[in-house]
């Protein structure tokens, strides 16, 4: 068996990023040609591979210590991962998902049978490709939706009918989700992955003032929903190999520079920050929708917080001194040595991407690094 070269680098880093990047024009063109049947998957993969190599080289050039594939092989940040399992179907949407002023026209994704993983998940090969691009200064991380996100996908009202044809209870569904995540993480581990990021929009929905209506429950009932989503994440984290670093990114939706939910962390802090057993939280703090830093006082133990103070939704560069001041404001609630800096989200959670150029994207990453080095040193 081929020996895997293991990096000792661990996420997060003082200057970091969430994971997705704007798709280059040649990749968008190849994807369109593939969808139209003009080229086959082999030809598409050649372009994907080339774009991912160029992305990794650019990230290294900017001085970052973590690399991803930019999610260049995916249509969305979360659904493609789910499509890799048995028992999950998808079809072009007629309604889309509601975002502020715009609908995200991503595939409807639903249960068609018992969820299982009877082969290697497609993301494992995606990871191997990025892993091979590591050097002594960089480590590959794998992003994927959190188990809670998958639970939400199939238990929210819009999907209940499909789910209940297969599963008699949410607990039975949760057990199968925990099992398949265990298989994926074991496969990633065998491929040399030691840094995973669980992307999770459920807490953004829970924090929203209408969050309970999204789940078809009451405000009190939503506390129990929070607990069940925290529990499924923790079960997966507990079952993972002990030297697997597992971080989470908490999001309020990111599509074409719009958002899905709003609300400060106050109403989710006790459970999310106090009880979820991750290594670090990548958190959105780029606008008033995110609220203040006081809930960070609830982050338990020695867990870390990556402050998402730089927005990917706009090309306008933040004022460096204001960002530095905000980091010190956050440090009133959690020690500075447990704080890190990144953009608030990815640059392209779906293929369509946010409303900025690739050059503006790199300028954001340069700013993150400059600020971090001023605050924590080089």
0.85 exceeded by pTM: yes
d(CA 351, CA 30): 12
Q: Convert the pLDDT of each residue in 228-249 to its tens digit.
A: 999 999 999 999 999 999 999 9
Contact 83, 111 (CB under 8 A): no
Burial annotation 260-297 (CB, 10 A radius, 16+ → b, else e):
bbbbbbebbbebbbeebbbbbbbbbbbeebbbebebbe
Burial group, residue 88, by CB count within 10 angstroms (0-12, 13-18, 19+): buried
Contact 323, 310 (CB under 8 A): yes
Mean pLDDT (the chain, rounded): 91
Structure tokens at 278: 């991750």
Contact 306, 226 (CB under 8 A): no
Residue 232's pLDDT is 98
- C-alpha distances (whole Å) from 75 to each of 17, 303, 370 are 19, 32, 32
The least confident of 103-112, 164-173, 317-326 is 103-112
Q: Convert the pLDDT of each residue in 167-187 to its tens digit.
A: 999 999 999 999 999 999 999
Contact 72, 27 (CB under 8 A): yes
Question: Which DSSP string do the residues of 9-46 spell out, in sequence order?
Answer: --S--SB---S--PPPHHHHHHHHHHHTTSS-HHHHHH
d(CA 201, CA 76): 13
Contact 236, 182 (CB under 8 A): yes
- Return the bridge partners of 281, or none: 248, 305
Q: Which residue reads 């798709």 in tokens? A: 23
Residue 244's pLDDT is 98
- Return the bridge partners of 284, or none: 308
Q: With CA atoms as reference, report the closest residue to 48 among 82, 13, 23.
A: 23
Contact 83, 134 (CB under 8 A): no
Q: Convert the pLDDT of each residue in 87-107 to its tens digit.
A: 999 887 665 554 444 444 467
Categorize the per-residue pLDDT at 255 as very low, low, confident or very high, splitting at 50, 70 and 90: very low
List strand residue ranges (DSSP E) for 216-335, in order: 245-250, 280-284, 304-310
Residue 106's pLDDT is 66
Structure tokens at 295: 């809930």
User: What do you get for the CA distance between the two ends of the chain, in Å?
Assistant: 39
Residue 213's pLDDT is 78
Say whether pLDDT at 303 is over 50: yes
Q: Which CATH number fits domain 25-376: 3.90.45.10, 3.20.20.210, 1.10.4080.10, 3.40.50.300?
A: 3.20.20.210
- What residue spans define the domains of the chain? 25-376
């Amino acid at each position: 068996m081929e020996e895997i070269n293991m990096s000792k680098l661990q996420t997060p880093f003082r200057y970091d990023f969430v994971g997705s990047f704007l798709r280059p024009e040649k990749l968008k063109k190849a994807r369109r040609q593939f969808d139209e049947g003009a080229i086959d998957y082999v030809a598409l993969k050649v372009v994907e591979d080339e774009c991912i190599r160029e992305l990794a080289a650019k990230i290294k050039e900017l001085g970052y210590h973590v690399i991803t594939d930019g999610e260049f092989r995916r249509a969305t940040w979360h659904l493609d991962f789910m499509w890799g399992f048995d028992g999950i179907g998808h079809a072009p949407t007629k309604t889309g998902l509601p975002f502020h002023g715009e609908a995200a026209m991503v595939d409807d994704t639903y249960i068609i049978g018992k969820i299982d993983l009877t082969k290697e998940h497609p993301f494992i090969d995606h990871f191997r490709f990025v892993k091979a691009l590591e050097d002594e200064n960089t480590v590959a991380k794998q992003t994927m939706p959190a188990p809670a996100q998958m639970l939400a996908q199939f238990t929210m009202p819009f999907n209940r009918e499909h789910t209940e044809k297969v599963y008699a209870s949410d607990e039975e569904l949760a057990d199968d989700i925990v099992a398949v995540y265990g298989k994926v993480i074991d496969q990633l581990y065998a491929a040399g992955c030691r840094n995973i990021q669980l992307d999770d929009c459920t807490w953004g929905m829970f924090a929203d003032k209408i969050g309970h209506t999204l789940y078809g429950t009451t405000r009190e009932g939503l506390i129990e929903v929070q607990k069940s989503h925290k529990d499924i994440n923790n079960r997966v984290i507990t079952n993972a190999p002990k030297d697997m670093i597992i971080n989470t990114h908490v999001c309020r939706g990111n599509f074409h520079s719009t958002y899905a939910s709003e609300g400060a962390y106050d109403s989710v802090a006790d459970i999310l920050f106090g009880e979820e057993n991750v290594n670090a939280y990548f958190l959105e703090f780029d606008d008033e929708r995110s609220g203040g830093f006081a809930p960070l006082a609830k982050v338990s133990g020695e867990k870390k917080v990556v402050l998402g103070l730089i927005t990917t939704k706009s090309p306008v560069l933040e004022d460096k001194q204001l960002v530095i001041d905000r980091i010190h404001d956050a440090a009133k609630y959690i020690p500075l040595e447990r704080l890190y800096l990144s953009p608030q989200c990815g640059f392209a959670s779906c293929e369509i991407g946010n409303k900025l150029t690739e050059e503006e994207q790199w300028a954001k990453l340069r700013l993150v690094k400059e600020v971090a080095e001023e605050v924590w040193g080089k």
